Copies of this chain bind each other. A is one copy, B any other.
Amino acid sequence: MDRVDDLARAFERFPGIGPRQAKRFVYHLLSTNVNDRNRLADLIARIGDSVAQCQECMRYWSGSGDLCIYCADRSRDDSILMVVEKDQDLAAIERTGAYRGRYFVLGGVLTLSGKGAIREADLIQRVERRSHEGLQEIILALSATSEGEHTADHLRERLSPLREHVKLTVLGRGLATGSELEYADSPTLSSALQNRKET
């Protein structure tokens, strides 16, 4: 069943999808009506037309022009640049309503095996330009995972020439919602203790 296999193999490239679920997607599509299938195909073929990549922060957005709404917004703070791994992380930060600075989306983390096509050259170029435009702080807002930390270490090194004028920061560690003291590691607990606040 070549076509079924071809399509299943294409779905296997989706993040987190194995051979069995890929196959299930194909059978699901076969059982839906032809209009729904055509609509999906159309949405996929045209997603690139309607969604642009912002030439400043590199995130995907739907709109016209080179800059996304956050990068075009003159009221945002040019003195802070937050580096995140992916579009969804940026969305999570925006949901907090607590950040009004600029962004840069890396497009991936460095994996421990050394690979990872991250937009490092773009980041360096942005940072160099922004350092002449009032940039004072870069927040390396990466996940608290080994790959996130590995990437932060790498970027810290790459950005070290700028440290004379620009401060490098990382997100604060502490108890995340749902975590229990007994199972928290010492660095997390130390940070939680240090960052304690009046209630």
Known: A168-B198, A174-B192. A15 touches B28 (CB 8 A): yes
Interface size in chain A (residues, C-beta < 8 A) = 99
A194 proximity list for chain B (CB < 8 A) = 98, 172
Kindly identify, within residues 10 to 59 of chain A, every residue whose CB is under 8 Å from any CB belonging to chain B: 10, 13-16, 20-21, 23-32, 34, 37-48, 50-51, 53
Known: A30-B47, A199-B152. A188 touches B167 (CB 8 A): no
A47 proximity list for chain B (CB < 8 A) = 3-4, 7, 26, 29-30, 37
A6, CB-defined interface residue at 8 Å: yes
A156, CB-defined interface residue at 8 Å: yes
Question: Number of copies of this chain in the oligomer?
Answer: 4
**How many angstroms from the CA of A18 to the CA of B42 in the assembled complex?**
21
Q: Is the CB of B145 within 8 A of A172?
A: no
- With A24-B88, A171-B189 given, can you name 12 additional A-B contacts, CB distance below 8 Å? A4-B51, A4-B62, A10-B39, A16-B24, A29-B44, A89-B181, A92-B189, A98-B194, A139-B196, A144-B177, A169-B196, A170-B196
